[in-house]
Amino acid sequence: MTENSYELLGYRMIKINKNFLLVVVLFASISYATSEKENEKPADEIPGLGNPEVTEIAENVLAITGLYHSAENGFYVNAGIIFTSRSVVFIDSGMSIASGEFLWNIAQRRMKGDENLYLILTHNHSDHVFGMRVMKEKGAKVIAHNVVRFWFKRLNGERYKEILRKRQGWSPEKADEIFGEVILSEPDEVVDRDAVFKIDGDEIHVLVTPGHVPSELSVYHPKSKTLFAGDTIYEGSALTTRFGGPNQWRQWISQLDRLKKLEINTVIPGHGKLCAKEEIDRNINYLRGEIEKREK
Ligand SMILES: [Zn+2]
């Protein structure tokens, strides 16, 4: 299969980089490429999908980077999928139904069909939750911070979409085209302190890491030493600090200090490229700089 045909499948492949444990995803078969031919469109022409890349960062652990974000200008959002022997665990769902469907399709190609499904939301923001309807309709059990329940009670999908639509200056038609029909369901299970979920022998550590917002969770998978950081860690860019002030930023730094102690092979940040643990220091320094500026 040529590089081009990968592009047409809707996502780009990452080449093997032995230093960083990235393995090319192999499940996009030629038959899939053929059967989908009539519908082929470059990913960035599918409204609300962005330019996703799928990377198998460890056995049965996928990172999906480059999903659509309304900020555009090269800004994207990430998600992850962990496959255990009998379950599939999604971490975040992208900013649109198109993104949610993309994640579902990626997972489905590896599934037998009777897996238990879970969706862990790293926080309540649109760019991480708008795709959730897709997993929910397939029967996924949604796990999130307690505070997310409060938010989703107040702000159903359509109301949240309307806020973003006005902010973007979009027509209702454009918002529908990009986001799709968003339904935010209250979580099935909530946490307000660190929790370990044992799923078919795999441990999934759900860590409460407030700072960006109070509902922030990070997900650690010890077996693969992967950290799904949500917006607790940004790679390469400015951190979104506008939801708090110095007190929240200090809390954020203390959570980053805590995450640094974990044994980590790969960080899947909420935004930006896959990265190593060292990126945490850049995030800490950024926040220290913001506190200094504010308290000068
Ligand atoms: Zn985000």
Tell how far the Cα of 33 is from the centroid of ligand 1, in angstroms.
31
* Interval 34-43: pLDDT, tens: 333 344 556 6
Closest CA to 168 of 95, 243, 46, 70: 70
125 C-alpha to ligand 1 centroid (Å): 7
pLDDT for residue 27 is more than 90: no
Q: How far apart are CA 83 and CA 94, in angstroms?
A: 18
- What are the pLDDT digits (tens) for 66-94? 999 999 999 999 999 999 999 999 999 99
Q: How far is the CA of 121 from the centre of ligand 1 (A)?
A: 11
Q: Work out the mean pLDDT of the chain and round it to a whole number.
A: 88
- pLDDT value for 12: 40
Pick from 42-51, 110-119, 121-130, 154-163: least confident: 42-51
pLDDT of residue 45: 80
- Answer for the pair 259, 232: CB distance below 8 angstroms, yes or no: yes
Does residue 22 or residue 176 have the better pLDDT?
A: 176
| 263, 215 Cβ separation under 8 angstroms | no
pLDDT at position 53 is 97
Q: What is the pLDDT of residue 40?
A: 53
Residue 115 host element (H or E): none
Q: Report the separation in Å between the CA atom of 122 and the middle of ligand 1, taken as the mean of its atom positions.
A: 9
| pLDDT score at 2 | 31
Residue 50 has pLDDT above 60, yes or no: yes
Q: How many domains does the chain have?
A: 1
* pLDDT for 6 beyond 50: no
- pLDDT at 14 > cutoff 70: no
Burial of 171: CB neighbours in 10 Å, binned 0-12, 13-18, 19+: exposed
CATH of the domain at 231: 3.60.15.10
Residue 177: which domain range?
A: 3-294
The answer to whether residue 204 scores a pLDDT higher than 90 is: yes
Share of the chain above pLDDT 90, in %: 83
- Quick one: pLDDT at residue 5? 30
Cα of 279 from ligand 1 centre, angstroms: 17
Percent of the chain with pLDDT over 70: 85
The predicted pLDDT at position 15 comes to 34
Evaluate if residue 8 carries a pLDDT over 80.
no
Q: Could you tell me the distance, in angstroms and rounded to a whole number, from the CA of residue 235 to the centre of ligand 1? A: 12
pLDDT band with cut points at 50, 70 and 90 for residue 296: confident
Q: What is the mean pLDDT of residues 194-219?
A: 97
Give distance in angstroms: CA of 185 to centre of ligand 1: 19
CA of 230 to the centre of ligand 1 (A): 7
Does the structure show a pLDDT above 60 at 179? Answer: yes
- ∠ CA 61-135-152, nearest 5°, is 115
How much distance in Å is there from the Cα of 32 to the middle of ligand 1? 31
